[in-house]
Structure 1
Amino acid sequence: MSKPPGTRQSIIDAVLRIIGEDGVAGVTNRRIAKEAGVSLGSVTYHFATQHELLRESLLHFVAEETRRFTELADQCQTDVMDLDRAAAAVGQVARGTEFDSRHIAPFELYVQAGRDERLRAAAAQCFAAYDRLATRILTGLGVPDAERLASSTVALVFGLQLRSLATGSPAEELVDALLLLARGAQHS
């Protein structure tokens, strides 16, 4: 049985939920306290400023994503990968980013990082993990110049995820689009 999260972690989880529901503007100490089930004093005790709250929330998300994507990249670390295996890996990514409030929050935090350079290093760390996974999959598929193409592939995934978020289209469309591109890249 896992132990319940500590106060600090409960606050971070609450911040991510709030951001996912109402954006960064919805983050207030009173709302965080209510959402996390802690006293208002606990919020200010653990986080002196809103910047610190946002930064720690982004870092927490980045740590989870980096761990998840590194594990997935390690699973894809074979010399040759067929399209079925690539589809399974991409499907894991797509299913792991279903658009509930917890997964919308990172998009909000990335936008906030664009406004606040103090958050950019954390965002860059997460994108580096995405790039590693993309490089492994593209290399496994035999795509020439995989490392150079990885960031463009990640950008495409994010664009498709935003499209899915905005239109409500299913994650399977993301998988289909990426496999279509992979097939084309293999034959170029």
Structure 2
Amino acid sequence: MTRIPVADRRTALVQAALRVIARDGVAAATTRRIVAEARMPLASFHYVFASRDELMAELIETAVGSEQTDVAPALSVDAAHGGMRDAIRAGLQHYFDGVRADPGREKAMLELTQWALREPGFEPLARRQYASYHEVAAQAAAETARLAGHEWTRPLDEIARILVSFTDGLTVGWLVTGDDAAAAAVMDVAADALAALAVPSGAGSRADTPAADAPHHRTTHHTPAPSTNAGTR
């Protein structure tokens, strides 16, 4: 019998667990169900993972990494050739096409998020999951603005959170209804709303600084607004 390297066994078990969760839910993802899905003996599981919880933690990290790869170009599609609104809309469509192509993965990710939030000690995994989503969204939003010759009028992390909120709602709504037309309407509104938060490069910079001809005494009493430190969901 060919000996399977440990790294390959881990990958196979993680992918098997993802399939079980996508199909039957987290509760069904017992070690026996997972090894059966992977077509491995039970001993293989315990050789690779110390516990089911260790597998679940790696599963979330792996799934998030996969989603990062798929979502990363979402907002930069054709940004250099169209306006900001069209670039955002194209990016949302790119994201949605990924959801439609593998709805099982999206269901599994939603289940894993809820599991991590309910399971004592695993809440940080859910926060890590959304921190990753926000990071990818921020990178994509920054690249889109650069290619389209625009800049955001709100902080980039705020734009990222708005975008993730839109895509979360889009995903859940479509998984429940399967209504492509409704999803398209959501993407249209989201693109309009996000594009309204961007201006051509240079247009917003003057609004962020006092006017050159403003009286000096008007600026000396300016008190900066306190910064906010929004945590991940």
- Normalising by the smaller structure, the TM-score range is 0.7 to 0.9
Alignment partners' CA distance in 2, 1:185 and 1:60: 30
2:135 pairs with one of 103, 126, 132 = 132
Query: Is structure 2 residue 171 aligned with structure 1 residue 158?
Result: no
- Structure 1 pair 116/100, CA: closer, same or farther in 2 (3 Å)? same
In 2, Cα distance between the equivalents of 1:121 and 1:108? 15
Q: Which letter does structure 2 place at the counterpart of 1:158?
A: D
1:64 Cα shift? 1.7
> Given the superposition, is the C-alpha separation of residues 69 and 100 from structure 1 closer, same or farther in structure 2, using an over 3 Å criterion?
closer
TM superposition shift of 1:57: 0.7
Q: Percent identity?
A: 26
Return the letter of the residue paired with 2:39.
Answer: G
Q: 1:62 to 1:185 in 2, by over 3 A?
A: closer
| Pairing partner for 1:148 from 158, 164, 168 | 158
Give the structure 1 partner of residue 207 of structure 2: none
* Cα distance in 1, alignment partners of residues 194 and 33 from structure 2: 48
Unaligned stretches of 5+ residues in structure 1: none
Corresponding position of 2:34:
32
TM-score scaled by structure 1?
Answer: 0.79
- Say if 2:135 and 2:160, in contact at 8 Å, map to a contact too: yes
Q: For 2:18 and 2:47, how far apart are their aligned partners in 1?
A: 18
More helix, by proportion: 1
One-letter amino acid of the structure 1 residue matched with residue 60 of structure 2: L
Q: Which has the larger radius of gyration?
A: 2
1:105 aligns with 2:93: no
Equivalent residues in 2 for 1:48-59, closer than 5 Å: 48-59=50-61
* 1:46 CA drift (Å): 1.3
Residue 81 and residue 117 in structure 1: after superposition, are their counterparts in 2 closer, same or farther (change >3 A)? Answer: farther
Q: Does 1:114 align with 2:117?
A: yes
Distance in 2 between the 1:48 and 1:109 partners? Answer: 19
State the shift of 1:73 in Å: 6.3
Q: CA deviation at 1:83?
A: 2.2
Count of residue pairs brought into register by the alignment = 183
- Of 119-128 and 134-143, deviating more is 134-143
Q: CA shift at 1:164, angstroms? A: 1.1
- Tell me if 1:90 matches 2:92: yes
156-165 or 34-43, which deviates more: 156-165
The whole-number CA distance in structure 1 between the counterparts of 2:56 and 2:72 is 24
Note the residue ranges of structure 2 that are not aligned, 5 or more in a row.
Answer: 198-233
Q: RCO higher in 1 or 2 (8 Å CA, sep ≥ 6)?
A: 1
Q: After the TM superposition, which of the residue ranges 131-140 and 101-110 deviates more from structure 2?
A: 131-140
**The one of 184, 188, 213 aligned to 1:179:** 188
